Structure 1
Amino acid sequence: MRLISWSRGALGLACLLASASATVHAQAAWPDRPLRVIVPFPASGATDLVARVVTQRVAADLGQQMVVDNKPGAGGTIGTAEAAKAPADGYTLLLTTSSTHAISPHLMPRLAYDPRKDFTPVAHVADAPSVLLVTNSLPVKTVGELVAYGKAHPGKLNYATSGNGTIVHLNTAAFSAQAGLEMTHIPYKGTALAIPDLIAGQTHVLFDSLPTGMPHAKAGRLRALAVTSEKRSTLAPELPTLAESGLPGYSSVTWFGVYLPAGAPPALVARVHQAFAKAVQAPEVAASLAKLGVEPAAPSTPAQFGAMVQADSNRWATVIRQHKITVE
């Protein structure tokens, strides 16, 4: 009886060791097949282009193909919800922006995912600052002059956005609140449609992306006053920040980051983080991102990335609540 009992115990122990060995081997072999990178926005958009630039370098590091899978719709929330349901085995990643994790949760209370509970933050990849543009018909050349003009003409200024609840809308709402201005919101279906009216003087203020806004400023069709980032942008170093221009603490960028589904093993998170952090510091990657109006993110840990996103989310929640912003 003792012999039989010992044999069963030995067999159980052998099975346990075999299972553990298989798990270690599987983790050590990762990745042994192509990886899927869900981008919850359309092909050829900013997030898609950033993903393709960065993942090409990451794929070379990992030794496996990375397939960008565009899943657009509902402001990025459809693809994000799909990523949340994927296995946490490292073969499905999400490359997304502020929109899905810091803004949409406060505009769409019935999301099919929880940005904190359903995801593991992995890597802060890049940031895209915006530029404050004004029409040439305004007699202002600095942020201070714009604020003074707005206060002297309450309710006379209007601002264009790419729609309710977009980062352009939130940037302007935060700016007007901190500056103490009363401005009228004129929503468009994209900033490209707003530019002609801004040039014509039918609207007065627009926070636009650097790649689409700066060419008009450099051509003299519009006037660029400042950038929204915490520090001066390497893409337009001649422009001061809004914080430098009399709005201390103002800082806003569209960030790009990588997530794994919740439950991903720490070792896997560390390996994916390492690959993306290394990729965005490569000179050729930084140069390609610059052409998109995007700057590589400063080095940070996954925990620091998660904390940054939460702080961003808290700030936009306040702006949305104070201005009663909704999406139609």
Structure 2
Amino acid sequence: MIPRRWLLAGLSTLSRAALAQPAWQPERPIRLVVPFPAGGPTDLVARPLAQRLSDVLGQPVVVDNRGGAGGNLGAEQVVRAAPDGHTLLLSNVGVLAVNQSLYRSLPFDPERDFTPIALVAGAPVALVVNAAVPVRTVVEFVAWTQVQAAPVPYGTAGPGTPGHLAGEVFRTLTGAKLQHLPYRGSAPALQDLVAGHVPAMFDPVQSPLGQIAAGRLRALAVSAPVRSPALPATPTMREAGVANHEMVAWWAVVGPAGLPRPVIARLADEIRRISDNASWRDGLAQLGISPLFMSSGELATFRRAETTKWGAAVRASGATAE
């Protein structure tokens, strides 16, 4: 029989060896897929995150914009990638919690086909109008839409995005005479809004912030429990007279199904460190974005709760997408 002290010594040695194992290290550049065109609100989170991850992982983290179908096309590419940590998805609430209720069919299952890694950030959706639109409050905007000859188009980053659903819920709650006008991303929608080709837009607050500051756009309200630090003079929807309209967009990093635990642990740990960094937090705050770190397990629970919440909003609004 093996002496007990030898057995305990052996187990202790094994434990120390396990703890001493090096963390997962990428072997080549990492592709961080953003399922929307360049220049939109997701890019404002993705690009600084990619740079900081590049610095700590020792390999380039390259943002790859793959827009289309409300984010579904880019997400499908990640689903089909090898689960080795070299292809990741930074996506918003639309792909991960809204689209399965909004679309009649999806080429993937958001829960089964992705490995949650970490929640990164969140921001409220803002209702903004071109500065030439003759309204300054939400009440005035609703009244203005109701006297137009045809429904007023509002731009969004595409079907299934937070802006789309926020717009449909707003229309249902207020009776505003609106019609959804989807674009292939926030950037082209914002361009048309600034040019006056579309009078209004719903989008996460960081996307139109620069044009608001320049006076080309006017923010009427944000869909959050409290005012955005980036737009302190802009009321919340509740303050503007629209109760039950809290639509906070969020962004998370996920990978293909079957991602190994060491990969998840390393990536989540690095994102947590980034989230704790004061310069990262200050940089996001200037854009109206809040760091919202959650670990893999926490993100999985959060995503399921958000799917229930946003799914109820989809059904209540009657919004659908092909």
Distance in 2 (alpha carbons) for counterparts of 1:80 and 1:231: 31
In structure 2, the gaps of 5 or more residues are 1-13, 184-188
1:307-322 mapped onto 2 (5 Å cutoff): 307-322=301-316
**Superimposed CA distance per residue, residues 143-170 of structure 1 (whole angstroms, 9 cap, x where no aligned partner):** 35555x3698698762412355443221
**Secondary structure of the structure 2 residue equivalent to 1:101:** helix
**Secondary structure of the structure 2 residue equivalent to 1:161:** strand
Distance in 2 (alpha carbons) for counterparts of 1:272 and 1:125: 12
- Are residue 229 (structure 1) and residue 224 (structure 2) matched? yes
C-alpha change, 1:213 and 1:45, in structure 2 (3 Å) is: closer
Equivalent residue, structure 2, for 1:99: 94
Alpha-carbon offset, residue 172 of structure 1: 1.1
Equivalent residue, structure 2, for 1:30: 24
1:121-270 mapped onto 2 (5 Å cutoff): 121-134=116-129, 140-144=135-139, 146=141, 149=143, 158-162=152-156, 163-179=158-174, 181-185=175-179, 187=181, 189=183, 190-197=189-196, 205-266=200-261, 268-270=263-265
Question: TM-score of the superposition, structure 1-length normalised?
Answer: 0.74
C-alpha change, 1:194 and 1:105, in structure 2 (3 Å) is: same
Alpha-carbon offset, residue 80 of structure 1: 1.9
C-alpha change, 1:43 and 1:138, in structure 2 (3 Å) is: closer
Deviates more, 1:67-76 or 1:236-245: 67-76
C-alpha change, 1:161 and 1:311, in structure 2 (3 Å) is: farther
Equivalent residue, structure 1, for 2:273: 278
C-alpha change, 1:97 and 1:135, in structure 2 (3 Å) is: closer
Say if 1:103 and 1:313, in contact at 8 Å, map to a contact too.
yes
Distance in 2 (alpha carbons) for counterparts of 1:215 and 1:40: 22
Say if 1:226 and 1:240, in contact at 8 Å, map to a contact too.
yes
Distance in 1 (alpha carbons) for counterparts of 2:139 and 2:301: 32
Equivalent residue, structure 2, for 1:117: 112
Distance in 1 (alpha carbons) for counterparts of 2:272 and 2:131: 41
Alpha-carbon offset, residue 174 of structure 1: 1.0
**Secondary structure of the structure 2 residue equivalent to 1:115:** coil
1:197 alignment partner AA: G
Number of aligned positions between the proteins: 301
Distance in 1 (alpha carbons) for counterparts of 2:284 and 2:274: 11
- Are residue 300 (structure 1) and residue 316 (structure 2) matched? no
Distance in 1 (alpha carbons) for counterparts of 2:107 and 2:125: 29
- Are residue 79 (structure 1) and residue 74 (structure 2) matched? yes
Q: Given the alignment, which residue of 26, 45, 62 partners 1:68? A: 62
C-alpha change, 1:89 and 1:151, in structure 2 (3 Å) is: closer
Provide the aligned C-alpha RMSD in A. Answer: 3.7
Of structures 1 and 2, the larger Rg is shown by: 1
Alpha-carbon offset, residue 112 of structure 1: 2.5
Say if 2:221 and 2:234, in contact at 8 Å, map to a contact too.
yes
**Secondary structure of the structure 1 residue equivalent to 2:292:** coil
1:274 alignment partner AA: D
C-alpha change, 1:184 and 1:32, in structure 2 (3 Å) is: closer
Alpha-carbon offset, residue 216 of structure 1: 4.5
Give me the identity figure in percent.
30
Deviates more, 1:49-58 or 1:128-137: 128-137
Distance in 2 (alpha carbons) for counterparts of 1:26 and 1:94: 30
In structure 1, the gaps of 5 or more residues are 1-19
Distance in 1 (alpha carbons) for counterparts of 2:265 and 2:196: 48
1:95 alignment partner AA: L
**Superimposed CA distance per residue, residues 63-83 of structure 1 (whole angstroms, 9 cap, x where no aligned partner):** x21432526143332332232
C-alpha change, 1:251 and 1:82, in structure 2 (3 Å) is: same
Distance in 2 (alpha carbons) for counterparts of 1:35 and 1:71: 16
Say if 2:116 and 2:253, in contact at 8 Å, map to a contact too.
yes
**Superimposed CA distance per residue, residues 265-300 of structure 1 (whole angstroms, 9 cap, x where no aligned partner):** 445433321211211332333344456x35242343
Question: TM-score of the superposition, structure 2-length normalised?
Answer: 0.75
Say if 2:146 and 2:176, in contact at 8 Å, map to a contact too.
no
Alpha-carbon offset, residue 257 of structure 1: 0.8
1:143 alignment partner AA: V
